[in-house]
Amino acid sequence: MNDPYESLISSGNYSFLYTPTSIPTNETEEYFNEEYVGCLCTDICRADCPCYSRTGTIYEDGRIVQINDMPSYECNANCSCASKCSLKLVQFGPNSNMDIRWTEKKGYGLFAKSRIPKDSFICEYAGEIIGKNEAELRYHNRAVVGESNYIFWAREHFGDKTIETIIDPTSIGNIGRFANHSCKPNCNLLLIRIDCAYPKVCLFSNRIIDAEQEITFDYGSCESVQPSLIENPCHCEEANCKGKLTEDL
**What CATH code is carried by the domain that includes residue 191?**
2.170.270.10
Provide mean pLDDT across the span 133-161.
Answer: 85
Give the per-residue pLDDT at 30: 74
Beta strands in the chain (DSSP E): 17-18, 23-24, 57-60, 63-67, 72-73, 98-103, 107-112, 121-124, 127-130, 152-158, 161-173, 180-181, 187-193, 200-205, 216-217, 224-225
Does 41 fall in a domain? yes
Q: Which amino acid is at 95?
A: N
Confidence bin at 206 (pLDDT 50/70/90): very high
Q: Is residue 86 part of a domain?
A: yes
Query: Would residue 248 count as lying in a domain?
Result: no
Q: Is residue 234 part of a domain?
A: no
Averaged pLDDT score across all residues of the chain: 87
- Assigned domain for 238 exists: no
Per-residue CA distances from 58 to 41, 51, 97, 118 (Å): 16, 11, 22, 15
**Does 131 reside within a domain?**
yes
Domain count, the chain: 1
Whether pLDDT at 229 is above 70: no
Cα–Cα distance measured from residue 72 to residue 56, given in angstroms and rounded to the nearest whole number: 5
Q: What is the pLDDT of residue 238?
A: 79
Amino acid 227: pLDDT: 44
Percent of the chain's residues with pLDDT above 90 = 55
The parent domain of residue 16 ranges over 6-225
Q: Is residue 237 part of a domain?
A: no
Indicate yes or no: pTM above 0.75. yes
Per mean pLDDT, which range of 35-39, 160-164, 241-245 is the poorest?
241-245
Q: Does residue 178 sit within a domain?
A: yes
3-state secondary structure of 202: strand
